[in-house]
Amino acid sequence: MLWRMLELAFRPDRAAGPPLYRQLADHLRELVEAGRLAPGQKLPASRQLAEAVGVSRNTVNLAYEALADADLVSAHVGQGTFVLAQKGWLARSADPEREPGLAWEGLLSARGRSLRRPSGLSRPAAPLPFDFDAGRVDLASLPRTELRRALSRAAGEHLDAIANRIDPAGWPPLREEIARSLVARGIRCEPDDVLVVHGAQQGLDLAARLLVDPGDAVAVEEPGYFGARLAFGSHGAQLVPVPVDAGGLSTEVLARTLRARRVKLVYTTPAVQSPTGEALAPERRQELLELAAQYQVAVIEDDYDSELRLASTVTPALKREDEAGRVIYLGTFSKALFPALRVGYLVGARPLLRRAVLACAAAQLGGSLIEQAALAELLRSGVLERHVRRVRRLYRERLDAILVALSESFPSTARWSRPAGGNSIWVELPAGVDPDALARAAAEVGVGYGRGELFQLADSPPPCLLLSFACAEPGVIQEGIGRLGEVVKNALAQEVGR
């Protein structure tokens, strides 16, 4: 019987975000799209289906109503609810050999069903002339000749050593160079303390996989890096937001949080807070380490943008002051070179690192050693260090340009500050601005940017923008921010006029 099939395939998740009726409606929709529910087929009575799948009769009725609103089913008084023919059914039913597909939603694990696309992640289909979206680098500044040479050597001179090698911990010469380079961040470690990962994002996933059980609380910055929230959330973590201000992560609020509940991990970006660009204040650094010791909490330090520091003084990594090994340090080459280079590294306590290597082996056996060997060459020769110095000078000029443009073009009620590093600036807009309408209006005048809601946990977060100055000359910055400022002013005027 049909409801017996549904009973096996549908599992209500009461801890998930969507209400139960929406979960059931989505599942039935997929059965229709997969061909498991054919046109004209009668759905079970609401009482029968409610008993079969373990929900209330009202939940089933609401699901049926949602399907009717989407023109997927039709209800007939006294007869029942029937599946309607959908566009494309004639072509599919003409093939008698065609087997119905799987209803994949019913086969997904609880973690698989919990995955959601973050709001604000989508980008325009076509490039915009004034694109201030974050997460990119200036391609014209890349050391292309040196990159080609390093890759050529990796695929030539080092190929015999690499071709038959699988190393989940990473290419040993690269781990040696990483350990050597970390001295500049105040970290003294051995190559065996370094794990090369597929970008810092894999490092976050590894930490979550090894340390987070479903239901564990993880403290994250608010606003904060969306990729960290994706990683922790995908492993069933309860995300606990801790506010960020001009001094970085609020250790005062964190202390209250740790007193009130058991927290497994604290995630922070202390050198250049993502997305605000603030640096963690010196007194808070010490307070954070003391809280970690007092409450036996691990700290993940994401040092993603430390190479691109723009401040005159250099603050060492939090890991430098970590004598007890409570800090898991993450770094990446994506910001110093380019995002498509998916190579990062993790430095942590040996017991954790041993497990992380095994987890890497289970997931992918090992990363691409060709890229890792090329990176080792760039580090050893000093090419990467010289490139980073050039990019820092470039970004300082462009940061100055965007700060001037913002002060000239944006309303006085908008708020921003000079970031400690990186290539983006966080702008807080007055309340009332509709983020979707603002993005559409900006795109109409050729301007794109990072959506602020992507970095915030609240359902209705305050309107914010993340503006990257990495890829635009000062003249382009001036015109693009001028256009965006007019769009923002128009949005505010419309809000006041309502």
Residue pLDDT, tens place only, 24-34 = 888 888 777 76
Q: What is the count of structural domains for the chain?
A: 3
The pLDDT assigned to 346 comes to 94
125 within a domain of the structure (yes/no): no
Task: Say whether both 446 and 418 belong to one domain.
Answer: yes
Give CA angle at 55 (49, 56), nearest 5°. 90
The pLDDT assigned to 94 comes to 42
421 within a domain of the structure (yes/no): yes
Q: Which residues contact 41 (CB under 8 A, 6 or more apart)?
A: 2, 82, 83
Task: Say whether both 217 and 364 belong to one domain.
Answer: yes
Domain that holds residue 416: 130-134+386-497
The pLDDT assigned to 89 comes to 43
In the chain, pLDDT over 70 holds for what percent of residues? 87
State the number of CA atoms in the 13 A half-sphere of 26 facing the CB: 13
Region class of 42: left (phi > 0), else alpha (psi between -120 and 50), else beta: beta
The pLDDT assigned to 457 comes to 87
124 within a domain of the structure (yes/no): no
List 328's β-bridge partners, or say none: 300
In the predicted structure, residue 137 carries a pLDDT above the cut 60:
yes
In the predicted structure, residue 286 carries a pLDDT above the cut 90:
yes
**Distances in whole angstroms, Cα of residue 425 to Cα of each of 121, 127, 357, 400:** 18, 21, 36, 11
The pLDDT assigned to 91 comes to 41
User: Of 230, 132, 138, nearest to 451 (Cα)?
Assistant: 132
Task: Say whether both 327 and 433 belong to one domain.
Answer: no
- Rounded Cα gap, residues 56 and 49, in angstroms: 9
Task: Say whether both 392 and 375 belong to one domain.
Answer: no
Which CATH number fits the domain that encloses residue 90? 1.10.10.10
Task: Say whether both 259 and 330 belong to one domain.
Answer: yes
227 within a domain of the structure (yes/no): yes
Residue pLDDT, tens place only, 416-435 = 999 988 889 999 998 888 88
- pTM here is 0.79
Mean pLDDT of 377-394: 90
In the predicted structure, residue 483 carries a pLDDT above the cut 90:
yes
Mean pLDDT of 130-144: 87
Q: Go through the chain and tell me how many residues it has.
A: 498
Task: Say whether both 242 and 224 belong to one domain.
Answer: yes
**Distances in whole angstroms, Cα of residue 422 to Cα of each of 164, 227, 311, 331:** 38, 17, 10, 14
The pLDDT assigned to 136 comes to 84
121 within a domain of the structure (yes/no): no
Torsion of CA 189, 195, 198, 204, to 10 degrees: -80
Q: Please provide the average confidence, as pLDDT, over all residues in the chain.
A: 85
Mean pLDDT of 76-98: 62
Task: Say whether both 446 and 360 belong to one domain.
Answer: no
Task: Say whether both 202 and 305 belong to one domain.
Answer: yes
User: Of 226, 232, 241, 253, nearest to 453 (Cα)?
Assistant: 226
Residue pLDDT, tens place only, 457-471 = 887 888 899 999 988
The pLDDT assigned to 269 comes to 94
The pLDDT assigned to 9 comes to 64
161 within a domain of the structure (yes/no): yes
